[in-house]
Structure 1
Amino acid sequence: MSRILGVATCSQLKLPDRFIPLFDKLAPELDLRAPDDIERPEDVRFMLTFIPDAEAFHRYPKLEAVFSVGAGQDAIDRCPSLPQGLPVYRLEDPDQALQMAGFCAFHVLWHHREMAQVRANQASEVWARKLTGLSPTARRIGVMGFGLMGRAVAKGLVALGYSVAGYSRRMPEAEPGVTHYTDGEMDAFLAQSDILINVLPLTPQTRGLIDAAFLAKLPRGAALIHVGRGGQLIEPDLITALDSGQLSGASVDVFETEPLPAGHPFWAHERVFVTPHVACIPTPEAVVRNVRQRMLAEFQEKKSA
């Protein structure tokens, strides 16, 4: 079988340098090249990218699939040159889901056990013991988004003894220990979420979802762990909710503008835990395996049709 030609385009992440050697080693059926090494663009069958340039797709008329190197694909979907109907596949990696589960468990404990105050007490040399409310039964956790990531997050928190509810537009396969809410039940879901974890993808329906009205539906003193996509959160509304006491704290890993600009209110806010979009990072090897499996399946289906 001749090798299936692909192109890696994302100058910000230097995808060709990172992935071409790995494709040669782990996916010899797929011939991944840098844009400058493509002699016949019409031979290219797939693209590997994350944040494509505006004109990235114009040069390749015979593309059959686009692969994101991460769990998100919103930058690809927004690309003006993306051909209508071209399949776009985001990474679905069990290891990445485990990373997300661990990250969220840490931040649940951070807010539940009021570790920001503990750190402030240390800086002031104050010995103050909290003696009540330490049991996981004292906090109800809401996981908004119940795909591969959300399910792993919920499963980990159930194992720690927390009461966990999930929300998704459609009823998923049951997960032991998780109560589920679906479309039309968002208000009830929010009302029972003392700590809300957002792992939703960015869609037209979720853009700007987390605004003042949304945050007001959480129990007073709730906390937000935002690991979905930056465009879902109205950042000034979060600051207002924190300053008013409607929220007791927030962990924010994704932002409308990344890197987070100097002088942004989140940097200095005592109730915001800022992390630089690192909740989960896939290994390059996992990306290659994912693309290989999907691309070879696509190729075989078209060949047998």
Structure 2
Amino acid sequence: MSVNVLFSAHADRWPQYRDLLTSAIITTGVDFNLATDFDPAEVDYVVYAPNSGLRDFAPFARLKAVLSLWAGVESIVGNPTLTVPLARMVDHGLQQGMTEWVTGHVLRHHLGMDRHITGQDGIWRTDVPPLAPSRTVCILGLGELGQAAGKALASLGFNVTGWSRTPKSIPEVTCFDGASGLQTALEGAEILVLLLPDTPATTNILDAKTLAKLPRGAVIINPGRGPLIDDDALLAALGSGHVGHATLDVFRTEPLPPDHPYWSHKRVTVTPHIASETRPETAVLAIAENIRRGEAGEPFLHLVDRTLGY
């Protein structure tokens, strides 16, 4: 019997995914039907974006899994009607995009590019930045994206440290975990990159207390989640000069309101949640593989742990 795959995402995504996803599932050998509308009782898999509007999964009586197109699942993980396996998006495109964005902004701050880009004022500035091995970059969050970014930065010679809630071992990265490990990681972080998920345990992980642990003049780069940072505490640290600059891609409210103080702050760079986007050409391969696994009785990839929230 054919499996029915419901594509539930914003309407403008369907033309981008229809042919690519069809081709990807065909290569798995699974007999399937793919559409944007089915009788819920006849759906086997939902390819899902949290902004699709679908919230009630109770009518999906034979549903086997929900396969998210997004890496972040905080808006769905607590849905009481979702009782089947939930897989988040982890694929080469997301990893590559995040690695490129993080590496670019780390290099920008490491090299002091802003002084020359914005300082076209006739002053011959001869200060030379240190080489990468003399700069410590710390990554909070050592999941798939954090590990990929850490390995790329280490390959450039940076002294890369990282922190995660649970112990990790990554050859290129000096790893810390737990409360004491977080303090140690922050104390050495000249450039701090946030790649943690948004969970109750990570909300405001950067507050006045933890910001004070950073070396004076540290740079913060946040392509992870907006609620990781206490905005008032960050603005205060920027105002005092304890934090030298913050490059922020994610925010508690998006789009960032036009009157938010981040927009006009001289030590803040705002980018519009573009650090890494799900690319249809690579995402469909991850979706198709999980459908194949589901039909073969194999474990799904990148399942969300409901107790942890990611």
Residue 182 of structure 1 is aligned with which of 168, 177, 186?
177
* Contact 1:10–1:50, Cα closer than 8 Å, also in 2: yes
Is 1:92 matched up with 2:90?
yes
Using the TM superposition, give the Cα deviation of residue 81 of structure 1 relative to its aligned residue in structure 2, in angstroms.
5.6
In structure 1, C-alpha distance between the alignment counterparts of 2:127 and 2:273, rounded to whole Å: 31
Is 1:173 matched up with 2:166?
no
SS in 1 for 2:193: strand
Offset from partner CA, 1:245-264 (integer Å, 9 cap, x none): 11000111111111112121
In structure 1, C-alpha distance between the alignment counterparts of 2:104 and 2:273, rounded to whole Å: 15
Give the equivalent residue in structure 1 for 2:34: 32
* Contact 2:169–2:175, Cα closer than 8 Å, also in 1: no
In structure 1, C-alpha distance between the alignment counterparts of 2:125 and 2:216, rounded to whole Å: 24
* Contact 2:43–2:62, Cα closer than 8 Å, also in 1: yes
Offset from partner CA, 1:111-141 (integer Å, 9 cap, x none): 122222222212x34332213x421133211
SS in 2 for 1:74: coil
In structure 1, C-alpha distance between the alignment counterparts of 2:18 and 2:93, rounded to whole Å: 22
SS in 1 for 2:246: strand
Residue 118 of structure 1 is aligned with which of 96, 116, 122?
116
Structure 2 unaligned spans of 5+: 299-310
Offset from partner CA, 1:56-80 (integer Å, 9 cap, x none): 42442332211111222122225x4
RMSD: 1.9
Q: Please, what TM-score do these two structures have when normalized by structure 2?
A: 0.87
* Contact 1:199–1:228, Cα closer than 8 Å, also in 2: yes
- The aligned amino acid for 2:175 is H
* Contact 1:54–1:81, Cα closer than 8 Å, also in 2: no
Give the equivalent residue in structure 2 for 1:128: 125
SS in 2 for 1:27: helix
In structure 2, C-alpha distance between the alignment counterparts of 1:228 and 1:63, rounded to whole Å: 30
In structure 1, C-alpha distance between the alignment counterparts of 2:122 and 2:100, rounded to whole Å: 30
In structure 1, C-alpha distance between the alignment counterparts of 2:265 and 2:56, rounded to whole Å: 39
* Contact 1:6–1:31, Cα closer than 8 Å, also in 2: yes
Q: Does 1 or 2 have the higher relative contact order (CA < 8 Å, sep 6+)?
A: 2
* Contact 2:93–2:283, Cα closer than 8 Å, also in 1: no
Residues 56 and 205 of structure 1, relative CA distance in 2, 3 Å threshold: same
Residues 136 and 41 of structure 1, relative CA distance in 2, 3 Å threshold: same
In structure 2, C-alpha distance between the alignment counterparts of 1:25 and 1:136, rounded to whole Å: 43
Structure 1 unaligned spans of 5+: none
In structure 2, C-alpha distance between the alignment counterparts of 1:295 and 1:262, rounded to whole Å: 42
In structure 2, C-alpha distance between the alignment counterparts of 1:32 and 1:112, rounded to whole Å: 47
Q: Please, what TM-score do these two structures have when normalized by structure 1?
A: 0.89
Using the TM superposition, give the Cα deviation of residue 54 of structure 1 relative to its aligned residue in structure 2, in angstroms.
6.1
- The aligned amino acid for 1:49 is Y
Using the TM superposition, give the Cα deviation of residue 190 of structure 1 relative to its aligned residue in structure 2, in angstroms.
0.6
Residues 268 and 105 of structure 1, relative CA distance in 2, 3 Å threshold: same
Give the equivalent residue in structure 2 for 1:75: 75
Offset from partner CA, 1:160-201 (integer Å, 9 cap, x none): 11111111122223323x211012311111101111111111
- The aligned amino acid for 1:195 is I
Offset from partner CA, 1:204-231 (integer Å, 9 cap, x none): 2112222222211111111101111112
In structure 2, C-alpha distance between the alignment counterparts of 1:97 and 1:111, rounded to whole Å: 21
Aligned residues: 292
Tell which deviates more after alignment, 62-71 or 239-248.
Answer: 62-71
- The aligned amino acid for 1:257 is T
Residues 50 and 233 of structure 1, relative CA distance in 2, 3 Å threshold: farther
Give the equivalent residue in structure 2 for 1:151: 147
Residues 153 and 55 of structure 1, relative CA distance in 2, 3 Å threshold: closer
SS in 2 for 1:7: strand
Give the equivalent residue in structure 2 for 1:8: 7
Using the TM superposition, give the Cα deviation of residue 294 of structure 1 relative to its aligned residue in structure 2, in angstroms.
1.0
